């Protein structure tokens, strides 16, 4: 047997091309709906056309007559199929109201898209045809669509709860009792702003798809799902269906994007599993885009009231925040927790005293449930504080960048204990901001703006910025416990050196576009001194990767990647004992460099990892008590969140005659600590930024007053195309995180967090000479034009 010689590698930080790409580029990759499953029955779900209605009767007899239709079930038929209602894992307060939620509505529908009946047929066409043949008699009820209307309880959706309020979650941090109120009394400057975070549709390009494959005699069932969370799904489906957990296997094949929308336990997953067991046949389902907009979770949906108090220098002395959160019709997996994830970030990157008063009241509406969407709570918070800083600067009549500089947490203050008690690991906000300003040529743009924005000009130039912090890398389990989250925030990794010195990394993260296979191989390669192509990364199948908490919240690298590094350390530790035994020296006399153990001071006494791996496999000559094989498993609970940060700037030109906004330049300076693969980091930033731009300019789940979704497909919901968005100039600073050995922070959500306020502050800046001080999102041409008209008319009064 040839044993490859280890070569020293220095792979971390290089722009290694992604190993994921060839199968995806050639059509070889298999997404869930690409799987060929003989004998599968197709599920289709009849959905409510009403936002709020009683189900008077359902007649399925015509549907049953359609050729190919095997069965039709209503919510009542399946009432006994569930061991528990659909799960919400985040009861944020002990008295949180959570209405029972089942995969099919039983006697009342609560949003357009709520499941009413399920059809099983031998082919997809028949199952969809049958939906048209089901007769449902509804008694429409008044829909609750508006958040403030919901809060009034004039019309209560879930009668048994007696209210539309799900919970109120306060976070009051005061150095001395009453100091917030006092700060506002004493403040030289005060601002009070109201912002609306419109509902967004995550719109992963791959609609959800599911296949449940039972093995009737063994009782086992495999769920293939386009999900971000195979591990969580396994636990939750077992509990909801009452199946012993060890009998459930969940596999996420290639997954075509998630952005939080596949971080959930969905009705269709439970229906496929329940019906597959009932019929002893595989059951599959694929979502149509129109279903996706209605029956997959939406994001954002908040009304924010923000108040800042500041002294004569503009130093912020207190922050007060009141939020109304839109939960939609039911609580999905982490719906109520989303506003809490933002709760700690309404002070942004600024050094504020312990004078912070936050409260969020969340309400039910007759709309699609909301849940985590890229950034989840943190883009909302960042938007609010950054827009509020601009408002404060206007109030003080000073430059907003100058105001930010006066308030930034300074480099030397890190690690910084925030008002909340959380510790910000590392940062240098001024450095990132100044770099962004240089890259933007801020002085030059300002000079151009002076020339261009003269009275009567119709093309106005504006510069916007936002400095952000992201609390990510979810999360230290104890902190999650303090927030009443039902699970932990650790991640698991196994690293196994095979007899031929090839390496298997098994991770609990579950990628859907992030390139984990490439990045995780790079980490193991660097640690173990093997070539990256000799590292295989296995994931997203609970039969292979038994432990894990999956991918969301920019956690995969700072938690899952670090777990891999730690597992490599454990492997090296064990290998060292074997090397010491075989080289007849003390373990502490050995050094491990470039994949080879050698005795310090006598480099010729050396053993490559390859020899040890083979030796651990043969087990012929191992130290006393040493187990054969070279592998290690780690469950890593991070000691802290990771706190990436940065400053984004952009330059826009607003056409005052048409309201059109054109982004001329977009600069993103992000600091996510050490970068494993800068190519992938940049890609994450690009994509995130465009999702943020999309919130600012294009996207909104528009509902009419009856709760009908008016933007229910991709020709009505404006996901930007290449021609709608600018090239993005990325820069970065590197401030390693001191809390993990790789010095890394998450980056998946950063772009989205930075972008929306950057664009909106730019638009307002462009229009400031017209008296515009606020602008609703999305800043569509119509909205911009109307806002200009209102401001200029108001000015002429």
What residues make contact with another protein under the rule CB under 8 A? 17-18, 20-31, 33-34, 36, 62, 65-67, 125-126, 129, 132-133, 135, 203-207, 254-257, 259, 288-290, 512-515, 679-680, 682-683, 686-691, 713-715, 719, 721-725, 727-728, 751
Q: By C-beta, is 59 or 741 nearer to another protein? A: 59
Q: By C-beta, is 66 or 767 nearer to another protein? A: 66
**Least distance CB 541 / another protein (angstroms):** 18
**Least distance CB 677 / another protein (angstroms):** 9
Q: By C-beta, is 22 or 242 nearer to another protein? A: 22
Q: What are residue 315's phi and psi, to 5 degrees?
A: -70, 125
Residues 51, 126: contact at Cβ < 8 Å? no
Q: By C-beta, is 125 or 741 nearer to another protein? A: 125
Residue 116's contacts (CB-CB under 8 Å, 6 or more residues apart) are: 45, 46, 47, 48, 55, 58, 74, 75, 104, 105, 109, 134, 136
**Least distance CB 715 / another protein (angstroms):** 4
Q: Residue 193: beta bridge partners?
A: 306
Q: By C-beta, is 180 or 663 nearer to another protein? A: 663
Both structure tokens of 724: 């709608």
Q: By C-beta, is 486 or 729 nearer to another protein? A: 729
Q: By C-beta, is 301 or 513 nearer to another protein? A: 513
**Least distance CB 21 / another protein (angstroms):** 4
In terms of DSSP H, where are the helices of 69-217?
Answer: 124-132, 147-152, 179-186
Both structure tokens of 687: 């994509």
Q: By C-beta, is 68 or 415 nearer to another protein? A: 68
Residues 761, 399: contact at Cβ < 8 Å? no
In angstroms, rounded to a whole number, what is the distance separating the alpha carbons of residues 388 and 322?
14
Residues 104, 267: contact at Cβ < 8 Å? yes
Residue that the structure tokens 């040493």 belong to: 626
**Least distance CB 42 / another protein (angstroms):** 11
**Least distance CB 203 / another protein (angstroms):** 6
Q: By C-beta, is 501 or 691 nearer to another protein? A: 691
Q: By C-beta, is 92 or 376 nearer to another protein? A: 376
Residues 555, 491: contact at Cβ < 8 Å? yes
In angstroms, rounded to a whole number, what is the distance separating the alpha carbons of residues 218 and 398?
72
CA atoms within 13 A on the CB side of 30: 12
**Least distance CB 32 / another protein (angstroms):** 11
Q: By C-beta, is 326 or 682 nearer to another protein? A: 682
**Least distance CB 138 / another protein (angstroms):** 14
Q: What are residue 345's phi and psi, to 5 degrees?
A: -115, 10
In angstroms, rounded to a whole number, what is the distance separating the alpha carbons of residues 582 and 475?
41
Nearest to 728 by CA among 697, 756, 751, 694: 751
Q: By C-beta, is 260 or 314 nearer to another protein? A: 260
| DSSP E strand boundaries for 508-644 | 535-538, 590-593, 596-599, 602-608, 630-636
Return the biggest CA–CA distance within the chain: 93
Alpha carbon 715 to its chain centroid, in Å, reads 25
Q: By C-beta, is 121 or 221 nearer to another protein? A: 121
Alpha carbon 90 to its chain centroid, in Å, reads 16
**Least distance CB 263 / another protein (angstroms):** 15
Residues 408, 373: contact at Cβ < 8 Å? no
In angstroms, rounded to a whole number, what is the distance separating the alpha carbons of residues 743 and 751?
20
Establish whether the linkage from the previous residue to 778 is cis, with ω within 30° of 0. yes
Separate counts of helices (H) and strands (E) for the chain: 20, 28
CA atoms within 13 A on the CB side of 558: 34
Rg (CA), the chain: 28
**Least distance CB 687 / another protein (angstroms):** 5
**Least distance CB 260 / another protein (angstroms):** 12
**Least distance CB 691 / another protein (angstroms):** 8
Q: By C-beta, is 3 or 29 nearer to another protein? A: 29
Query: Hey, is 207 helix, strand or coil?
Result: coil
**Least distance CB 641 / another protein (angstroms):** 24
3-state helix/strand/coil string of 477-500 = HHHHHHCCCCCCCCEEEEEEECCC
Residue that the structure tokens 């050698």 belong to: 598
Nearest to 551 by CA among 534, 543, 539: 539
**Least distance CB 204 / another protein (angstroms):** 6
**Least distance CB 709 / another protein (angstroms):** 14
Q: By C-beta, is 316 or 672 nearer to another protein? A: 672
**Least distance CB 544 / another protein (angstroms):** 21
Residue 96, CA distances (Å) to 168, 336, 339, 362 in order: 8, 9, 14, 10
In angstroms, rounded to a whole number, what is the distance separating the alpha carbons of residues 471 and 344?
8
**DSSP 8-state secondary structure symbol assigned to residue 421:** S
Residues 513, 551: contact at Cβ < 8 Å? no
Q: By C-beta, is 36 or 80 nearer to another protein? A: 36
Nearest to 767 by CA among 780, 782, 785: 785
């Amino acid at each position: 047997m040839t044993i490859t010689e280890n070569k020293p590698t220095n792979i971390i930080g290089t722009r290694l091309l992604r190993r994921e790409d060839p199968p995806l580029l050639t059509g070889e990759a298999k997404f869930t709906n690409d799987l060929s499953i003989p004998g599968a029955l197709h599920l289709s779900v009849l959905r409510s056309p009403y936002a709020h209605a009683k189900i008077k009767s359902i007649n399925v007899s015509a549907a049953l007559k359609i050729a190919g239709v095997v069965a039709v079930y209503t919510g009542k038929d399946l009432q006994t199929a569930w061991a528990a209602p659909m799960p919400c894992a985040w009861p944020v307060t002990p008295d949180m109201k959570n209405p029972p939620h089942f995969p099919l509505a039983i006697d009342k529908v609560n949003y357009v898209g709520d499941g009413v009946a399920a059809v099983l047929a031998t082919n997809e066409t028949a199952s969809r045809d049958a939906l048209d043949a089901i007769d449902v008699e509804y008694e429409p009820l008044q829909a609750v669509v508006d958040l403030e209307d919901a809060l009034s309880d004039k019309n209560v959706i879930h009668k048994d709860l007696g209210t539309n309020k799900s919970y109120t979650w306060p976070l009051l941090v005061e150095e001395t009792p009453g100091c917030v109120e006092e700060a506002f009394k004493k403040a030289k400057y005060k601002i009070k702003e109201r912002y609306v975070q419109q509902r967004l549709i995550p719109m992963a390009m791959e609609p959800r798809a599911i296949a449940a494959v039972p093995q009737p005699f063994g009782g086992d069932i495999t769920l293939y799902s386009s999900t971000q969370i195979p591990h969580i799904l396994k636990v939750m489906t077992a509990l909801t269906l009452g199946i012993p957990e060890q009998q459930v296997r969940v596999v996420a094949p290639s997954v075509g994007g998630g952005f939080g929308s596949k971080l959930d336990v969905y009705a269709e997953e439970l229906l496929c599993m329940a019906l597959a067991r009932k019929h002893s046949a595989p059951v599959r389902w694929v979502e149509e885009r129109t279903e996706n907009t209605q029956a997959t979770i939406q994001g954002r949906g908040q009304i924010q009231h923000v108040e800042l108090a500041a002294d004569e220098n503009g130093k912020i002395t207190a922050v007060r925040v009141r939020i109304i959160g839109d939960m939609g019709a039911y609580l999905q997996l982490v719906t109520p927790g989303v506003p809490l994830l933002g709760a700690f970030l309404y002070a942004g990157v600024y050094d504020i005293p312990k004078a912070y008063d936050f409260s969020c009241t969340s309400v039910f509406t007759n709309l699609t449930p909301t849940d985590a969407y890229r950034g989840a709570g943190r883009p909302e918070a960042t938007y609010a504080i950054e827009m509020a800083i601009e408002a404060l600067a206007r109030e003080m009549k000073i430059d907003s960048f100058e105001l930010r500089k006066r308030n930034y947490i300074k480099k030397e203050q890190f690690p910084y204990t925030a008002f909340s008690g959380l510790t910000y690991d590392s940062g240098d906000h001024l450095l990132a901001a100044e770099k962004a300003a240089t890259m933007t040529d801020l002085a030059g743009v300002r000079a151009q703006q002076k020339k261009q924005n003269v009275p009567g000009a119709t093309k106005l130039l504006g510069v916007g910025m936002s400095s952000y912090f992201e609390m990510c890398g979810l999360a230290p389990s104890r902190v999650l416990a303090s927030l009443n989250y039902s699970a932990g925030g650790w991640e698991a990794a196994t690293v196994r050196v095979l007899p031929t010195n090839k390496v298997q990394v098994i991770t609990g993260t579950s990628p859907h576009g992030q390139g984990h296979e490439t990045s995780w191989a790079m980490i193991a390669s660097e640690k173990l001194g093997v070539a990256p192509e000799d590292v295989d990364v296995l994931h997203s199948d609970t039969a292979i990767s038994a432990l894990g908490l999956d991918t969301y919240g920019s956690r995969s690298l700072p938690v899952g990647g670090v777990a891999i590094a730690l597992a490599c350390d454990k492997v090296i530790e064990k290998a060292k004992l074997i090397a010491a035994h075989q080289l007849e020296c003390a373990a502490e006399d050995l050094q491990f460099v470039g994949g080879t153990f050698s005795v310090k001071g006598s480099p010729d006494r050396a053993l490559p990892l390859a020899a040890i791996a083979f030796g651990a496999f043969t087990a012929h000559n191992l130290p006393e008590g040493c187990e054969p094989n070279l592998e290690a498993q780690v469950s890593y609970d991070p000691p802290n969140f990771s706190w990436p940060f940065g400053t984004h700037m952009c330059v826009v030109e607003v056409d005052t005659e048409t309201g059109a906004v054109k982004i001329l330049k977009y600069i993103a300076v992000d600091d996510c600590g050490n970068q494993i693969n800068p190519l992938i980091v940049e890609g994450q930033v690009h994509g995130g930024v465009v999702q943020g731009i999309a919130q600012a300019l294009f996207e909104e789940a528009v509902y009419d007053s009856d709760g009908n979704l008016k933007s229910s497909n991709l020709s009505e919901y404006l996901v930007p195309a290449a021609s709608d968005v600018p090239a993005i100039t990325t820069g970065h600073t590197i401030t390693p995180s001191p809390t993990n050995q790789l010095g890394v922070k998450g980056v998946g959500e950063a772009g989205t967090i930075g972008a929306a306020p950057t664009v909106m502050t730019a638009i307002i800046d462009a229009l400031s000479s017209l008296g515009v001080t606020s602008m609703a999102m999305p800043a569509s041409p119509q909205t911009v034009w109307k806002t200009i008209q209102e401001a200029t008319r108001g000015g002429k009064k």
